[in-house]
Amino acid sequence: MMRQLITALGLLSLSALAVAAGDPLGAAEKQATNWHAIIMFCIFVFMTMGITYWAASRTKSTADFYTAGGGITGFQNGLAIAGDYMSAATLLGLTAMVYSQGYDGYIYMLAFFAGWPIILFLMAERLRNLGKFTFSDITAYRLDQGKVRTMAAISSLIVVCFYLIAQMVGAGQLIKLLFGLEYNVAIFAVGILMMVYVTFGGMVATTWVQIIKACMLLAGGTLVMFLAFGQFGFSFQTLLEKATSVHKLGNKLMYPGSLLADPVTAISLGLGLMFGTAGLPHILMRFFTVTDAKEARKSVLYASGFVAYFFNVIFIMGLCGIIIVGQNPEFFEGGTVGAKLIGGGNMVAMHLAKAVGGNMLLGFLAAVAFATILAVVSGLALAGASAISHDLYARVIMKGTASEEKEIRVSKIATICLGFVAIILGILFEKQNIAFMVGLAFGVAAAANFPVLILSMYWKGLTTRGALFGGYGGLVSAVLFVLFSKSVWVDVLHNAAPLFPYTQPALFAMPIAFLLAFIFSKTDSSVRAGKEIEAFEDQYVRAQTGYGAASASNH
């Protein structure tokens, strides 16, 4: 039954992509581009369907479904984390930012990257030693299971949903342009494929989809960068001289510019990206897939290396794009250099691939971009499903009495529901600016998840009351700050002026979360609070040694 379903869904995605053959946009050249992309994407889909079929036979228990049985190596997990983290926005958005703003784009990447040392030195080992399936295993370790897990699950689902919207809308727009598919067909293709990967293969399939996608992304980006950089004799100085001579910013191209014009927003953005990374549920979940704390540290080290390398590849691609794409009239509407780029500003990487490698390389990079979205959406869906099934159903509703079979069944139902939610949200938000949603996802993760998680691991004095006020306070304030900012209050809701002057919430919402957690923990004199503080010693020993880690959430 399962084999037939996977085959049918594979054929469904193939036939959906084949609709692109009837691309109404015309041009024979556009058709050729589409076919390269379609064939390569179909190869990827069928390869990952095979992996899902293989993974399904290995997914028997909740540990298999959520964490691949804890049997992933540090190197494999590092690649998978990098695959989870490097979304299509990384490839397309950051290349476009370097192309248009130069050094500002690199500063933006550094803010994304700064979260990894925090995870490596402060969190990876303790996460693996204390957790079982989700990060709320750690926040609820010595606190009130029901209340704290409910809070963690709610904030996780909000982060997952906003991140899903951004990925789904990005997928729809990208596929609409590159494959010639209808937007809604593209959204359904992504949603259905994601449901198949997660429902049948669980974390095993999701991990291998992410590993394959990370390898494709690293290889594709490196090839484009190598071919483009080769046109400047692999001399960074030559590239910079030529780029600054033709760019509208001139010599200011390699200086911090508009991104740092408003230091408050810049610091808030940096904090959000830095600590948001350490609070993203689908990234944190990956630390439970390795065998022990040593492999958890290794996986962060490998992931940091892959992400850092790819950011530098993107930086060089963006600079090469200034000359190779920016000076070539065929990539501009009306054939006029300086007019609007065909496909919009985010298509610099795609145009560069076509310029240096023709339709074949463009097709490969288009397939990689789609595969990237699929992998990230799968990771998000699994994180959302685990929050519903493991935290809410198994621990809060059933209070630990649910059987593994029931928990897996609930998780699969949650995955399918999340898939349809993602499809509906993707269609509803087609016309909206998605930048604020990504900011909101990172802002909520930094303000709601990170403070309670780090305090529960490091501060003896944290109590249930403090965790709840801190978590909900960070969550509500981050959402309200974004709602009242220009991004939503003015641009979406069309009010005259924003109620909150900055677009990034982290600088303001994070201190609120920490302060509320501190105040309400310190003023908590209940008997339960005393027991929770005493229980920290047991938690500390387990965090350092990993003793009893396998049953961390069954203490």
- Sorted by sequence, the CB contacts under 8 Å of residue 528 that are 6+ apart come out as 144, 463, 464
Q: Give the pLDDT confidence of 123-135 residue by residue, as tens digits.
A: 888 888 887 778 7
- DSSP assignment, residue 61? S
Rounded CA separation 332/326 (Å):
9
Higher pLDDT, 259 or 7: 259
CA dihedral (501, 505, 506, 512) positive or negative: positive
Q: Give the pLDDT confidence of 447-481 residue by residue, as tens digits.
A: 999 999 999 989 999 999 999 999 999 999 998 99
Predicted pLDDT at 375: 80
Count how many Cα atoms sit within 13 Å of the Cα of residue 485 in the half-sphere of its side chain: 20
Q: Provide the residue type at 546 as one letter.
A: G
Rounded CA separation 264/268 (Å):
6
Per-residue pLDDT for 243 more than 80? yes
Cβ-based burial of 427 (10 A; exposed 0-12, middle 13-18, buried ≥19):
middle
Domain membership flag for residue 545: yes
The alpha carbon torsion through 334, 337, 343, 346 (nearest 10 deg) reads -170
Rounded CA separation 241/131 (Å):
51
Predicted pLDDT at 189: 83
Q: Mean per-residue pLDDT for 421-429? A: 86
- DSSP assignment, residue 128? H
Domain membership flag for residue 331: yes
Predicted pLDDT at 142: 87
Predicted pLDDT at 30: 40
Rounded CA separation 216/18 (Å):
22
Counting every residue written for the chain, the total comes to: 555
Q: Mean per-residue pLDDT for 179-204? A: 83
Domain membership flag for residue 53: yes
Predicted pLDDT at 288: 83
Which of the four pLDDT bands, split at 50, 70 and 90, describes residue 434? low
Backbone angles phi, psi at 426, to 5 degrees: -60, -40
- DSSP assignment, residue 462? -
Which of the four pLDDT bands, split at 50, 70 and 90, describes residue 11? very low
Q: Give the pLDDT confidence of 514-542 residue by residue, as tens digits.
A: 999 999 999 988 888 888 888 888 888 88
Per-residue pLDDT for 79 more than 70? yes
- DSSP assignment, residue 89? I
What CATH number corresponds to the domain at position 347? Answer: 1.20.1730.10
* Most confident listed range (269-273, 352-356, 369-373): 352-356
> Position of tokens 């399936």?
133
Q: How far is CA 348 from CA 78, 411, 425, in A?
A: 28, 39, 27
Determine how many CB atoms are found less than 10 A away from the CB of residue 252. Answer: 14
Q: Give the pLDDT confidence of 337-355 residue by residue, as tens digits.
A: 878 888 777 889 989 999 9
Rounded CA separation 441/367 (Å):
26
Q: Mean per-residue pLDDT for 3-32? A: 40
Domain membership flag for residue 10: no
Contact 207, 76 (CB under 8 A): yes
| Element spanning 63, H or E | helix 62-67
Per-residue pLDDT for 255 more than 50? yes
Domain membership flag for residue 3: no
Predicted pLDDT at 417: 92
- Sorted by sequence, the CB contacts under 8 Å of residue 151 that are 6+ apart come out as 452, 467, 468, 471, 472, 475
pLDDT above 70: percentage of residues in the chain: 90
Per-residue pLDDT for 187 more than 50? yes
Rounded CA separation 432/22 (Å):
27
The alpha carbon torsion through 341, 347, 351, 352 (nearest 10 deg) reads 120
Q: What are 216's two structure tokens? A: 């494709």
Q: Give the pLDDT confidence of 20-61 residue by residue, as tens digits.
A: 333 333 333 343 445 777 788 788 888 888 888 888 877 778
Rounded CA separation 329/205 (Å):
43
Cβ-based burial of 265 (10 A; exposed 0-12, middle 13-18, buried ≥19):
middle
Which of the four pLDDT bands, split at 50, 70 and 90, describes residue 99? very high
Predicted pLDDT at 34: 58
Predicted pLDDT at 260: 66
Which of the four pLDDT bands, split at 50, 70 and 90, describes residue 549? low
Per-residue pLDDT for 2 more than 50? no
Largest CA-CA distance found in the chain, in angstroms, rounded: 75
Q: Give the pLDDT confidence of 400-421 residue by residue, as tens digits.
A: 788 888 888 898 899 899 989 8
Predicted pLDDT at 555: 39
Q: What are 223's two structure tokens? A: 């090839």
Q: Mean per-residue pLDDT for 367-374? A: 81
| Element spanning 397, H or E | none
Predicted pLDDT at 436: 61
Rounded CA separation 222/426 (Å):
31
Domain membership flag for residue 18: no
Per-residue pLDDT for 380 more than 50? yes
Rounded CA separation 322/317 (Å):
9
Which of the four pLDDT bands, split at 50, 70 and 90, describes residue 1? very low
Q: Provide the residue type at 473 as one letter.
A: G
Domain membership flag for residue 442: yes
Contact 84, 277 (CB under 8 A): no
Owning domain of residue 478: 33-550
Backbone angles phi, psi at 178, to 5 degrees: -85, -35
Predicted pLDDT at 245: 92
Predicted pLDDT at 433: 59
Which of the four pLDDT bands, split at 50, 70 and 90, describes residue 308? very high
List the beta bridge partners of residue 341: 332
Higher pLDDT, 496 or 316: 316
Per-residue pLDDT for 509 more than 70? yes
Three-state secondary structure of 219-238:
HHHHHHHHHHHHCCCCCHHH
Rounded CA separation 545/296 (Å):
14
Closest to 510 measured CA to CA, from 270, 171, 160, 313:
270
Domain membership flag for residue 28: no
Predicted pLDDT at 87: 77
Rounded CA separation 412/380 (Å):
14
Q: Give the pLDDT confidence of 205-236 residue by residue, as tens digits.
A: 888 888 988 998 999 999 999 999 999 999 99
Give the chain's domain count: 1
Count how many Cα atoms sit within 13 Å of the Cα of residue 464 in the half-sphere of its side chain: 20
Q: What are 121's two structure tokens? A: 């030195």
